[in-house]
Amino acid sequence: MPGDGTSDPDDVEAVTRLLGRPPQGAFSVVVRDGDGPVVIRNHPLLHDGTPMPTRHWLVGESARAAVARLEAAGGVARAERAVPAAELAAAHERAAAERDAAIPAGWTGPWPSGGVGGTRVGVKCLHCHYADFLAGTGDPVGRWVADQLAAQAAHGTGGERRA
């Protein structure tokens, strides 16, 4: 079956706990902290062949919570205003190309679509962009998220720093 990779059993257990359900496809942990997995890289096809458009998934609890607070404070709209459209479009194209390159040769089933988080334009989810950035893609929205989170930490706030 597509997506049948060997994920480390300890990682599968940790990611199952973090997601609240077993993963539906193969993955590898690409970023860890002292608590365990923070970012996973998903195979582009789930075990049953269903396309998985989200290549990098933010699974770490503290990172997810911090990004959720940023989103709740209007972060998606702020990120779309802050990141030039051409940089965002390039990030979507890079994400799609990297994901599509991991699809097995000769695959004739459905393919994932879109770029970061499966979207073609704009910002769908700060979590996906931040996960891509932490995985080393240079995602400009993810960089913006990292800057916002660093500013919050520097100011000792749990919410968004107002400009």
Decide if 141 is inside a domain: yes
Decide if 56 is inside a domain: yes
Decide if 116 is inside a domain: yes
Count of domains forming the chain: 1
Measured CA to CA, the distance from residue 44 to residue 55 in angstroms comes to: 7
**Structural domain of 67:** 9-155
Decide if 4 is inside a domain: no
Decide if 160 is inside a domain: no
Decide if 162 is inside a domain: no
Give 32-56 pLDDT, tens digit per residue: 999 999 999 999 999 999 999 999 9
Q: What is the DSSP string of the chain?
A: -TT-----HHHHHHHHHHHTS--SS-EEEEEEETTEEEEEEE-SB-TTS-B----EEE--HHHHHHHHHHHHTTHHHHHHHHS-HHHHHHHHHHHHHHHHHTSPTT--S----SSGGG-SSS-S-HHHHHHHHHTTS--HHHHHHHHHHHHHHHHT-SSPPP-
The amino acid at 117: G
The confidence score (pLDDT) of residue 4 equals 45
Predicted model pTM: 0.90
Decide if 14 is inside a domain: yes
| Apex 1 CA angle, 100 and 57, nearest 5 | 50
Contact 126, 64 (CB under 8 A): no
* Token duo for residue 53: 């458009």
Mean pLDDT by 10 residues, the chain (163 residues): 63 95 95 96 95 95 97 96 96 95 95 92 94 97 98 75 41
* Token duo for residue 16: 């199952």
Decide if 120 is inside a domain: yes
The confidence score (pLDDT) of residue 1 equals 43
